[in-house]
Amino acid sequence: MAFQIILNLIIAFVWMLLNNEWSMMQFTVGYLIGIGCIGLLRRFWPHDFYMRRVWAIFKLFILFNKELLLSSIAVMVQIVKPKLTMRPGIFAFQTELKSDWEITVLSCLICLTPGTLTLDVSSDNQTLYIHAIDIHDAELLAVQIKDTFEKAIMEVTRT
């Protein structure tokens, strides 16, 4: 993947050199041409096309921002209600993530989302203990985390 990025940068600089114009616009055009060339030759590379991982990172970023907005609204609604109906609690979340990096990213995303907090990770890195401000159904929360953050992290790290 790093080789593809370096090759793409070289193509962009060669494009600027051939056009004899050193501007950001020419660099961008050259970079897009490089993406096209590398994309066309992707079956000859030993690794997957690097723009797939860039796209997966972008989707994870958008997903986090969406979850951040939705959970912020949910926490604000709980705060503004005259009668507290929330049930705070701790639940165990079984994860399919394997590496320390993946688990760290997941626990950071959970901590950054209002209303949830990762308290501990088991010694075998298979269980995360999560505190939620409103835990009516722990299974539903686990499924939501698995379908959103865990799935997006696996797309980034395992493509």
**Residues of the domain holding 72:** 50-157
Residue with tokens 């992290």: 153
Give the single-character DSSP code of 99: S
Please tell me whether residues 71 and 145 are part of one structural domain: yes
Percent of the chain surpassing pLDDT 70: 99
Cross-strand partners of 132: 89, 116
Please tell me whether residues 126 and 65 are part of one structural domain: yes
Task: Tell me the pLDDT tens digit for each residue of 35-94.
Answer: 898 888 878 877 788 888 889 999 999 999 999 999 899 888 888 988 888 888 999 999
How far apart CA 4 and CA 150 sit, in angstroms, is 27
pLDDT computed for residue 137 by the predictor: 81
Residue 134 CB neighbours (<10 A)? 19
Let me know: does 87 contact 134? Beta carbons within 8 Å: yes
Please tell me whether residues 25 and 100 are part of one structural domain: no
Per-residue pLDDT, averaged over 13-35, amounts to: 91
**Looking at the predicted structure, is the pLDDT value of residue 1 above 70?**
no
Work out how many domains the chain is built from and give that number. Answer: 2
Measure Cα distances from 30 to 1, 17, 35, 126 in Å.
19, 10, 9, 45
Please tell me whether residues 132 and 83 are part of one structural domain: yes
Comparing 3 with 153, which gets the higher pLDDT? 153
pLDDT computed for residue 3 by the predictor: 82
Please tell me whether residues 94 and 128 are part of one structural domain: yes
